[in-house]
Structure 1
Amino acid sequence: MANTPSPRPPTGGPHPCPADRRRWLVLTVGMLAMTAGCTFQFGLAYLIPALRAEGLSLAEAGLLAAAPNAGLLATLIAWGAAADRWGERIVLSSGLGLAGIVLLTAATVHDPIALGVCFLLAGAAGASVHASSGRLIMGWFAAAERGLAMGIRQTAQPLGVAVAALTLPSLAATHATPAVVFMSAFCLVAAVLVVALVRDPQRGTHTAAQRTGSPYRTPVLWRIHAASALLIVPQFTVATFALVFLVDAQHFDPATAGRVLAAGQVGGAIARLATGWWSDRVGSRLRPMRITALAVAAVVAVLAATTHSPIAVAVLLIAAIVTVSPNGLAFTAVAEHAGRAWSGRALGIQNTAQNAVASATPPILGAVITGVGYGPAFAAILAFPLLAAALIPTRAEDTNPYPPTPPPARPRPVRPGRSSPPADRLS
């Protein structure tokens, strides 16, 4: 198989870095931008103690922490459409810049309602990172590299939460304002780096598949979106209730439980990289996604059966790793099946579906756990990964206009005395 050519340099004149170095620079800056967005979108929970110390109730502080996610859900598809229309660089930088300005405004207000509105608007602006950073990978990376590149990009979410965990509690020790200023500065610095270092990949000519119109006229993308949303249920069940399970059912102290789950976060990030690399090697996103969905079902079944067993902690740790592993595969498959003309909108829809399910999972599963216990609750979510595996349209890759292709096999070394390997042994 011929080697897939590297993406061409961006439009708008020469740049100082060769294309093969530029794409990794773009990925690094895009990942930093997404980390900045995720720090305040998913990390505000670490401000809840400071907000309560300022007189808010737990319910009020929880609403403030959830406000960015509500704003994000409202604008993901719109930002994706903007990226398809005007390119990734302007959308990524303007969204982060607006989020930084709004957060800076939030640092000056004291009314809880005004603060909630600011967090809501910052989430709506920062949603640009979820559509644009993934779309950059589609344009800059060849098919045989996109799985790994998207896996690297997907580690930005746990990294953003980790940044929030490490910085926000100490910054908000006396007042929440310094922590909000930090999040604002992080977004603004990331926006400046995007402007300075990111270039949109060159727009290629439209293929016949693109000229025929929307990729949503077939059920392929809808099935990938649905399968991804179903796989969010076990992922957020484990992520939300793992700490409580270790403390209540396994009698861990919270600090030790936190260290155990931190190892799971690291393992989950490695799992996303590994599945992306695997999909590049085999030239498929959807077949590995189906296999990992079945693996999720298997580990959930074991977890449900061992909640009162000594091995439950090890199984929970494995579940924390396995349940996040299909995420990057789904995003890469969506971008490739949508094509560059539609990838921004498609990634926006993908993020919207996943975040909507993620928001609904904790309260519903919390009620189930309260009513029937951990074992039956974990057993109840077993149907979700099994249904996801059935929905994943693996045959669609045979007709995908942007199929992933594995890298070419390396020719075998020439034995001494031969000028070249035999023709029938060439890869």
Structure 2
Amino acid sequence: MKTNPPTWLVPVVAIFTLQTISAFLSRLIPIVAPAMSDEFGWSGSSIGYLTASNAVGGLAVLVAGSALLRQIGGMRMLQLTLLLGAACVVFFLYPSLVLVLFACFVMGMSNGAANPAGSEVLQKFSPPGKRNLIFSIKQAGVPLGGMVAGLLIPLVIVLAGWRIALFVCALVVLLPTLLTWRLSPALDGTAGKKGRLFAVPTRESLRMLRVPLAALADNPGLLKMSVVGSLFAASQSCWFAFTVIYLVDRLGFSLSLAGAVFAVMQVGGVIGRVALGWLSDQLGSATATLSIAAILSAASTALLGVTSTQWPLWAIVLLAFVAGCSAAGWNGVQIAEVARRSPPRLIAETAAGAGILVSLVNIAAPTAFALFITATGHYDYAFICAGACSLFVLAFLPRERCGAS
């Protein structure tokens, strides 16, 4: 007897695919940047500023994109930002830090669109008993995109140079975006509607700028869970931005080997996000699951700061994997919990509000990290401070009994 696939399968696959290539687009920055910086004579700490600019692009969409998301749909907005980001890789060819910062800003816009779009679509299609798992599968696209970037980009750089690698990356982004293009009207619920991509700002559209953050005040646990995400983001953003340059500059790794370690961290993120989502559904408690992730994130981030050339390769690889499972594995559970606590009519807005807090940290943490390294040269203290932020998660997690989620 033939059975129909579950109704949530197509939405999950589509959002997962776009989430993966959005992450791939952002992760190419810290991987290409060492080779580009060597040729242009930029310092290694400049990667922190490029990563921060990428986060500013995501923040801009989260703050100002609510009206456009309502008008054309979340998936469509995500697809459009991906196309713009792919086009902007051309600016990396010019030895101008201003142009590259602008390109990073535009490439970050898809990150800002990904969570509101994914939350709105998946909350409509996810069965309650599988919500954490489905959201975590979607979020597993982030480290998967990083894993592909960590393996593919260094290989192409070695074989053909970093300029060719940029165009390969643009093609990797374009193809899945175009393949999913026709799905967005059905998943966004905009089929048969005519929407404009651009509209003249009105008093109402300006009022919408404050909606995402205001929406977090709807219930006490919603704001706390959003702060939890921002604290986790401190460690995650520093791992993503500085792992490759740290391994190359301080531990003497080749770019290919550093990229492989980065990819292992992303593998851990894929496994960790799905596993933590499953565990959260089994325990019925997002709080317990995120507590485990916070402790492992703090420990692994602090340990990265004290690694040295005497450490065996397997130990560094294991550390990267554990960090992937924890420092980069929390997102699905946290985002699902924000959606669960949100009023149904404001899911996209609360997802955007929580994302704004995360984006602010994604801007501040790499920038502060880069400034600290420039001033002191101490990666160890910087990573220890980033790890301490994960421990503060334990103070902000809403207290509730198992079965509440």
TM bucket (normalised to shorter chain) is 0.7 to 0.9
Q: Which position in structure 2 is the counterpart of 1:337?
A: 341
Q: Which position in structure 2 is the counterpart of 1:385?
A: 390
Deviations 1:318-366 (A, max 9, x none): 3343222222211111111113311111111222221221222233234
- After superposition, the Cα gap between the structure-2 partners of 1:120 and 1:265, relative to the gap in structure 1 and judged at 3 Å, is closer
In structure 1, how many angstroms separate the alpha carbons of the residues matched to 2:402 and 2:171?
Answer: 44
Deviations 1:369-400 (A, max 9, x none): 562734443433443122211111123988xx
- After superposition, the Cα gap between the structure-2 partners of 1:319 and 1:135, relative to the gap in structure 1 and judged at 3 Å, is same
Q: Which position in structure 2 is the counterpart of 1:195?
A: 184
Per the TM alignment, residue 23 of structure 1 is displaced from its structure 2 partner at its CA by: 0.8
In structure 2, how many angstroms separate the alpha carbons of the residues matched to 1:44 and 1:310?
Answer: 27
CA contact (8 A) 1:104 1:184 kept: no
Length-normalised TM-score, structure 1: 0.70
- After superposition, the Cα gap between the structure-2 partners of 1:172 and 1:33, relative to the gap in structure 1 and judged at 3 Å, is farther
* Pairing 1:291–2:292 present: yes
Length-normalised TM-score, structure 2: 0.73
CA contact (8 A) 1:247 1:257 kept: yes
CA contact (8 A) 1:80 1:128 kept: no
> Secondary structure of the equivalent of 1:198?
helix
Mapping of 1:12-411 within 5 angstroms?
Answer: 18=4, 21-48=6-33, 58=42, 67-80=53-66, 82-83=68-69, 85=70, 90-97=73-80, 99-100=82-83, 103-104=86-87, 120-121=105-106, 123-124=108-109, 127-165=112-150, 166=152, 169=157, 178-179=167-168, 182=171, 185-186=174-175, 188-195=177-184, 198=187, 200=189, 214=215, 216-247=217-248, 250-300=251-301, 310=311, 313=316, 314-369=318-373, 371=376, 373-395=378-400, 404=405
In structure 1, how many angstroms separate the alpha carbons of the residues matched to 2:344 and 2:83?
Answer: 28
What residue identity is the alignment partner of 1:328?
G
CA contact (8 A) 2:231 2:392 kept: yes
In structure 2, how many angstroms separate the alpha carbons of the residues matched to 1:50 and 1:304?
Answer: 23
Per the TM alignment, residue 138 of structure 1 is displaced from its structure 2 partner at its CA by: 1.5
Per the TM alignment, residue 278 of structure 1 is displaced from its structure 2 partner at its CA by: 0.4
Give the count of matched residue pairs: 368
What residue identity is the alignment partner of 1:262?
A
Report which of the two has the higher share of helix: 2
- After superposition, the Cα gap between the structure-2 partners of 1:200 and 1:90, relative to the gap in structure 1 and judged at 3 Å, is same
Percentage identity across paired residues of the two chains: 20
Per the TM alignment, residue 74 of structure 1 is displaced from its structure 2 partner at its CA by: 0.6
In structure 2, how many angstroms separate the alpha carbons of the residues matched to 1:316 and 1:122?
Answer: 25
- After superposition, the Cα gap between the structure-2 partners of 1:347 and 1:387, relative to the gap in structure 1 and judged at 3 Å, is same
What residue identity is the alignment partner of 1:149?
I
> Secondary structure of the equivalent of 2:6?
helix
Q: Supply the RMSD in Å over aligned alpha carbons.
A: 4.1
Per the TM alignment, residue 99 of structure 1 is displaced from its structure 2 partner at its CA by: 4.3
Q: Which position in structure 2 is the counterpart of 1:205?
A: none
CA contact (8 A) 1:96 1:126 kept: no
- After superposition, the Cα gap between the structure-2 partners of 1:36 and 1:238, relative to the gap in structure 1 and judged at 3 Å, is closer
- After superposition, the Cα gap between the structure-2 partners of 1:397 and 1:132, relative to the gap in structure 1 and judged at 3 Å, is farther
In structure 1, how many angstroms separate the alpha carbons of the residues matched to 2:307 and 2:90?
Answer: 47
In structure 1, how many angstroms separate the alpha carbons of the residues matched to 2:260 and 2:59?
Answer: 31
In structure 1, how many angstroms separate the alpha carbons of the residues matched to 2:274 and 2:400?
Answer: 24
Per the TM alignment, residue 134 of structure 1 is displaced from its structure 2 partner at its CA by: 2.4
Structure 1 window deviating more from structure 2 (179-188 vs 91-100): it is: 179-188
Deviations 1:74-125 (A, max 9, x none): 1114435654x45xx8331244135426754875998766786566446446
- After superposition, the Cα gap between the structure-2 partners of 1:278 and 1:364, relative to the gap in structure 1 and judged at 3 Å, is same
> Secondary structure of the equivalent of 1:341?
helix
Structure 1 window deviating more from structure 2 (70-79 vs 367-376): it is: 367-376
Q: Which position in structure 2 is the counterpart of 1:3?
A: none
> Secondary structure of the equivalent of 1:324?
coil
> Secondary structure of the equivalent of 2:329?
coil
In structure 2, how many angstroms separate the alpha carbons of the residues matched to 1:183 and 1:255?
Answer: 20
What residue identity is the alignment partner of 2:385?
A
What residue identity is the alignment partner of 1:357?
V
Q: Which position in structure 2 is the counterpart of 1:409?
A: none
What residue identity is the alignment partner of 2:22?
G
Structure 2 portions without partners, runs of 5+: 191-213
CA contact (8 A) 2:373 2:379 kept: yes
In structure 2, how many angstroms separate the alpha carbons of the residues matched to 1:347 and 1:220?
Answer: 14
What residue identity is the alignment partner of 2:257?
T
Per the TM alignment, residue 141 of structure 1 is displaced from its structure 2 partner at its CA by: 0.9
> Secondary structure of the equivalent of 1:21?
coil
In structure 2, how many angstroms separate the alpha carbons of the residues matched to 1:396 and 1:318?
Answer: 27
In structure 2, how many angstroms separate the alpha carbons of the residues matched to 1:303 and 1:116?
Answer: 28
In structure 2, how many angstroms separate the alpha carbons of the residues matched to 1:333 and 1:248?
Answer: 39
